[in-house]
Amino acid sequence: MTQSTDNQPISYAIPGLAKSKNIHAKSKKPGKLGWAKDMTPQGLTIAGDFVIVSAYSKSKSYYSVLWLIRWQVCKNHCLA
């Protein structure tokens, strides 16, 4: 973990974690768009120009997702 100038740990929010547009898997609206509020990150990798974060719906109401974040943006703002 990166340390700030005052030696405190720095952490960053994962985009989409609080609320992410997704497709209903199991509900009264299968296949329809909705807002998932229970996405749980499960993996992270750097691939080419992107940081890829995988996440699943804790309630299993929505499909799993891959969030693609441009590496240049993350390198400048997330991994300071």
Q: From first to last of the 80 residues of the chain, give the pLDDT tens digit.
A: 455 566 665 666 666 677 888 999 887 788 999 999 998 899 999 898 888 999 999 999 999 999 888 877 655 555 54
Query: Residue 68: which domain range?
Result: 21-77
Three-state SS annotation for the chain: CCECCCCCECCCCCCCCCCEEEEECCCCCCCCEEEECCEEEEEEEEECCEEEEEEEECCCCECCEEEEEEHHHHHHHCCC
Residue 60 within any structural domain of the chain: yes
In a domain, residue 16? The reply is no
Residue 44 lies in a domain: yes
Structure confidence at residue 1 (pLDDT): 46
Residue 9 lies in a domain: no
Burial class, 57, CB count within 10 angstroms (exposed 0-12 / middle 13-18 / buried 19+):
buried
CA distance 77 to 65: 22
Inside any domain, residue 4: no
Total count of domains within the chain: 1
